[in-house]
Each structure stands twice: as C-alpha cells, then as structure tokens.
Amino acid sequence: MRPRHIICRLVANATGDNTWWTMIRAAAGGEPEARDVFARRYHQMIRACLVDRWRGKPLAACVDDVVQDVWHDCFKAESALARADPHKGGFRGFLFGVVRTCALRAESARARERGRMAADDSDLDTLVAKGDRLSVMFDREWARAVVHEARRVQTAHAKSKGEPALRRIEMLRMRFEEDWMPRRIAEQMQLSAEVVSQELLRAKNEFLTALAEVIAFHHPHASASWIESEVKRILDLLGQA
C-alpha cells in the first residue's frame, strides 16, 4: 500500500465539487452529454450483474430492458440520481440501491405474470435473504469497473509524464495480463532485471494511487483510512491483493 500521506492528499483533493460528482449532478439535471458518459461508464457492470443474477432463468431475456429501467429511474423527473448525495455515503451504495429496486420490481412483475400473488416488500426482502447474491455480484462488478477506471486514470497520468511512465504501464500489462516474469520483460525491453523490478514496483504504486483517486471521487467525504481499506477490499475481491 502506498504512503498514507498520498491518500490524505487525494481525500483533500476529492472533497467538494469534484469533476465526478459534477458529472453526476449534470446528468441528474438533464445534460445529454453527462447522461451519455454516466450510462457508458456504468452500463457494462450493471448488465453483467443482472446477467449473473438471472443466468438460466426466464428473466435472463429481460436484462437489457431492466438496464433501461435503471437509466429511467436515474434520469426521470425527480429522479433517483438527483437524490444522490456525496455527504450520505458513496456512490456505490446509491447505485446498488437503484439496481436492486429495478431487479426486484422485474421479479415481482414476473411473479404476477405467473399467477402468483404479488409479493410485498417484506416478501421481496425474504427473496433477497434466501440466496440472492445481488450484493455480492454488484460488489464484484463494481470492483472491476473501479479497477478499469483506475487503469484509465493511470494511463492518462502516464501520458502527461512521458515515455518512461508509459513504459511502466506496458511492463505492468506484460506482468499481470501476459503473466510474463520480470526476467522475460527485461529481455524484451533490453533492460536489466533489477531495473524492471524497480519499475514494476513503481508502476504498482502508480496504479494504487490511481485506484485511490477513483475511490476518493466516488466517496469524496471518506477518510484516508477508509479509502486505504477500500483499496484493499477491491483488490481482495478481484484476487489482486
């Protein structure tokens, strides 16, 4: 884990009207470009979550319709998105609540179509308690989305720093996506194994910095210690710790 002072700096920079929550507020206010960015950023994770939930079940054919219901609930007049508040927890919990509501609504409608009595809220909560893995699925997909965003942020930072930083990202890709050992990377890049090991360590720290930055944007009022623990939790979820 990188030094605590870096995380403290990220927390300080992330509080207030940061660009991520500015985009969310713009989307809630009806700005088309902000809504497009919002939908593209979260579409894959929401869809994957619902696909996993309904795999092998009739509702699997309705995944894309329910994703559209999520966008409708987020963007309609007096929308759920307009109620998102960085002072009341992070964005992950808010978005999970919207997805959960839409999923349960679809399941309730399916139950009525099959001639069963409509379930009330307590019945639906019982369904969730009895083996519903939506929260687990959502956490996993959220972690993947946050890591993907962190890689994008790291790449953007590297482009501003120049070729050495971009080379470190390529080393990281070779090591963890191609599963190359440092010695092979050294041979490929015509560097010493010692230099590659040092650069890989630096690249990992740069990725952790980007990951904490993304988490801080989603949770702008979180403490440094909480962000540090959330970085570890996300990496643990994906088996990358």
What are the tens digits of pLDDT across the range 127-149? 444 345 778 888 888 899 899 98
Q: How far apart are CA 61 and CA 52, in angstroms?
A: 12
pLDDT tens string 163-185: 999 999 999 999 988 999 999 99
State the pLDDT at residue 135. 83
Say how far apart CA 12 and CA 15 lie, in whole Å: 6
What are the CA-CA distances from residue 82 to residues 7, 26, 32, 75 (Å)? 29, 9, 15, 8
Q: Which two tokens stand for residue 106?
A: 């679809």
Q: Give the single-character DSSP code of 89.
A: S
Residues lower than pLDDT 70 in the chain: 1-20, 86-90, 115-132, 240-241
Could you tell me if 98 and 122 are in contact, meaning their C-beta atoms sit under 8 angstroms apart?
no
The CA distance from 62 to 49, in Å, is 13
* Count of positions (residues) in the chain: 241
How far is it, in rounded angstroms, from Cα 74 to Cα 195? 48
The predicted pLDDT at position 234 comes to 93
Give the span between the Cα atoms of 199 and 167, in whole angstroms.
9
- The pLDDT score that the predictor gives to residue 220 is 75
210/227 Cα distance (integer angstroms): 12
State how far the Cα of 34 lies from the Cα of 26, in Å rounded to an integer: 6
Token digits for 210?
A: 């980007």
- Inter-CA distances, 84 with 20, 176, 180, Å: 12, 36, 43
